[in-house]
A and B are shown apart, each in its own frame.
Chain A
């Protein structure tokens, strides 16, 4: 069966510090991968998605970036965090060759920028 892992579970970082969140999927090959942010009182906002290694599409211009160095690894990064980057970050995957609408989510990372 497939599983998705995210770490860390919680993170407190000062403004201006770098960020690296990691997501890995097991039990499938060439999944579609997604990064979402869930801010307080708001819905999920799609940040990035990837259909293959090195293929990243950005949905919202901001100081975050994503990379997919391996087939089942998806990394969310920032060089300098802003207070507005605080939120709950969710990684998700969907089977390759599908509509991408049935997504499987990881447990999330709670990021607090101070």
Chain B
């Protein structure tokens, strides 16, 4: 079945460091891809999305590019802030359902 694999965390960075969180997927067909973020004490919220190969999703300084050839959708940010500390979930959309990865916790220190 469809699945999503994310790098294990936590990822610990200093403020203004470069962030990469790896995500790869396995799916039949051509799924849509998403990053959701869960801030402490809150539910998940959509961060960005890409619906077809080579699309780049972006929001709040975060970016991810849909790479069909490597079945990847890595999340990047050039300069993280303390307020970016959260759990990040990669997900794929297939047959009107979302399949989530296990989540990667990001900790940013001042």
Q: Which residues of A contact B (CB under 8 A)?
A: 4, 41-44, 46, 49, 59, 90, 92, 99-108
Q: Is the pair B43, A99 in contact by a Cβ cutoff of 8 Å?
A: no
CB distance from A42 to the nearest CB of B (A): 6
Whether A101 touches B98, Cβ cut-off 8 Å, given contacts A43-B103, A44-B89, is yes
Interface: B44 (CB within 8 A): yes
Alpha-carbon distance A41/B102, docked complex (angstroms): 7
Q: Is the pair B34, A101 in contact by a Cβ cutoff of 8 Å?
A: yes
Interface: B46 (CB within 8 A): yes
Q: Is the pair A101, B32 in contact by a Cβ cutoff of 8 Å?
A: yes
CB distance from B75 to the nearest CB of A (A): 15
Interface: B97 (CB within 8 A): yes
**Across-interface contacts of A101 in B (CB, < 8 A):** 32, 34, 49, 93, 96, 98
Alpha-carbon distance A108/B34, docked complex (angstroms): 20
**Across-interface contacts of B34 in A (CB, < 8 A):** 101-102
**Across-interface contacts of B43 in A (CB, < 8 A):** 4, 90, 92, 105-108
CB distance from B47 to the nearest CB of A (A): 11
Whether A43 touches B44, Cβ cut-off 8 Å, given contacts A49-B97, A99-B96, A100-B97, is no
Q: Is the pair A46, B41 in contact by a Cβ cutoff of 8 Å?
A: no
Smallest CB-CB separation from A101: which chain B residue?
B93
The residue from A92, A100, A105 contacting B96, defined by CB atoms under 8 A apart: A100
Task: Render B78-103 as a binary contact track against A, CB cut-off 8 A, 1 for contact.
Answer: 00000000000100010011101111
Alpha-carbon distance A42/B89, docked complex (angstroms): 11
